[in-house]
């Protein structure tokens, strides 16, 4: 009888060890990955397009023989409070191995400290604020920092377009503030003049008084940093007040919905967007998933981000610490956002490429000259 009891005890102990060993290299269940992005709110069209790209990656991966992926989608609404709540749920209730997100810089910056303390890796596919560089050892992004974008735009406006007198209008968000600061410093360094730096509440729908102040200083270019809904009402007010300066925007303008909603008021506007390869297979998959040809600026990086995470998990398993360590050593090739994705010692994407887009008849197309 003692031998039987002893055998039962051994079996129970083995079962408990297996049940409690989630995150080891021997997991048999799906690997849980958290997702945070703006699925509703001002930037919902961006987040929903990203979600489609991520789900395409999940479907493709789960056809193969590697570890199965389960993505738990949470709505960050492009706000810090919602993203923070989402991250706490993913970490403490869902027990995810890694978080893909957020999209808006304010989303990501709101939960990096929580993720760092919990030792859960974060890979943002769209957040660009420079402060994320030093957010922690577990924080990564495969989207370039605004130190690249702000400098690129300053050089393009000053050297390529010959603009010497700029005004900046920005929504008071982490994303816009990050780009604004870099652009302003670089434009002045090149010899340009910044005649206005005007911030507005992201919830505001009327910036006419701000526009009037800028118009009085007669800039030859206005650098506007806002998300889709903020930009649509601003463009209409620019038109109403007869503003003639060249309008140039940030990468958040890579949203086809913006130009449909803006109509004729968006004609001739320009913006910088992170360049992506967007293979024919990816384009076809997005068309099948969304019913449109729209591919948002952050959708390719989100797709690659999920594929990259899967590659790491297939190599080291679902333990968060192992995932973090492997991310620093990973070089992901053959993606749709860039030829190679690798991270520096801060978890930042190495390198960046931008395209300049111009809106004509409601459609944004690359500037080729």
All domains in the chain, ordered by first residue = 21-144+278-352 (3.40.50.2300), 147-275+355-366 (3.40.50.2300)
Mean pLDDT of all residues in 286-294? 95
pLDDT digits (tens, 9 = 90+) for 207-264: 999 999 999 999 999 999 999 999 999 999 999 999 999 999 999 999 989 999 999 9
| DSSP letter for each residue of 262-293 | HGGGGTT-EEEEE-----HHHHHHHHHHHSSS
Cβ-defined contacts of 361-366 (< 8 Å, 24+): 361/267, 362/259, 362/260, 362/262, 362/263, 362/266, 363/256, 363/259, 364/253, 364/254, 364/256, 364/259, 364/271
On the 0-12 / 13-18 / 19+ scale of CB atoms within 10 A, 131 is middle
Cβ contact 357:364 at 8 Å? yes
Cβ contact 203:171 at 8 Å? no
pLDDT digits (tens, 9 = 90+) for 310-369: 999 999 999 999 999 999 999 999 999 998 999 999 999 998 889 999 999 999 999 976
pLDDT of 299 over the 60 cut: yes
Mean pLDDT of all residues in 51-66? 90
HSE-CB at 213 with a 13 A cutoff on CA atoms is: 11
Mean pLDDT of all residues in 278-286? 94
Mean pLDDT of all residues in 43-72? 92
pLDDT of 89 over the 90 cut: yes
Pairing of β 363-366 and β 354-360: antiparallel
Q: Give the Cα separation of 251 and 354 in Å (integer).
A: 9
**Could you tell me the pTM of the whole model?**
0.82
| DSSP letter for each residue of 330-346 | -EEES-SS-SEEEB-TT
Please report the pLDDT score of residue 16 as a whole number.
Answer: 37
Cβ contact 163:192 at 8 Å? yes
164 token code pair:
């010497």
Where does the pLDDT of residue 276 fall: very low under 50, low under 70, confident under 90, or very high at 90 and above?
confident
């Amino acid at each position: 009888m003692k031998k039987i009891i002893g055998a039962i005890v051994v079996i129970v102990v083995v079962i408990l060890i297996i049940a409690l060993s989630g995150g080891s290299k021997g997991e048999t269940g799906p690997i849980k990955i958290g997702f945070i992005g703006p699925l509703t709110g001002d930037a919902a069209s961006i987040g929903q397009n990203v979600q489609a790209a991520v789900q395409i990656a999940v479907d493709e991966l789960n056809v193969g023989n590697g570890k199965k992926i389960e993505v738990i989608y949470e709505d960050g609404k492009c706000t810090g409070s919602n993203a923070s709540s989402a991250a706490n749920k993913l970490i403490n209730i869902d027990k995810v191995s890694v978080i893909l997100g957020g999209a808006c810089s304010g989303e990501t910056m709101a939960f990096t400290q929580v993720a760092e303390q919990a030792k859960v890796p974060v890979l943002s596919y769209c957040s660009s604020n420079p402060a994320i560089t030093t957010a922690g050892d577990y924080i990564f992004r495969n989207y370039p920092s605004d130190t690249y974008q702000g400098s690129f735009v300053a050089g393009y406006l000053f050297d390529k377009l010959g603009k010497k007198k700029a005004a900046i209008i920005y929504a008071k968000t982490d994303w816009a503030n990050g780009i604004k600061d870099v652009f302003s410093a670089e434009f002045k360094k090149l010899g340009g003049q910044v005649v206005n730096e005007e911030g507005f509440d992201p919830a505001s729908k009327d910036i006419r008084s701000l526009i009037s102040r800028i118009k009085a200083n007669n800039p030859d270019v206005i650098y506007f940093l806002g998300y889709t809904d903020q930009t649509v009402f601003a463009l209409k007010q620019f038109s109403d007040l007869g503003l003639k300066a060249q309008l140039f925007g940030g990468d958040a303008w890579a949203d086809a919905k913006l130009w449909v909603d803006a109509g004729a008021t968006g004609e001739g506007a320009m913006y910088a967007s992170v360049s992506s390869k967007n293979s024919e297979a990816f384009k076809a998959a997005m068309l099948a998933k969304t019913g449109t040809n729209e591919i948002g600026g952050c959708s390719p990086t989100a797709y690659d981000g999920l594929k990259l995470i899967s590659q790491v998990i297939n190599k080291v398993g679902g333990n968060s610490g192992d995932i973090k360590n492997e991310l620093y050593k990973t070089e992901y090739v053959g993606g749709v956002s860039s030829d190679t994705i690798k991270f520096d010692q801060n978890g930042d994407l190495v390198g960046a490429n931008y395209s300049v887009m111009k809106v004509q008849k409601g459609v944004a197309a690359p500037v080729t000259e």
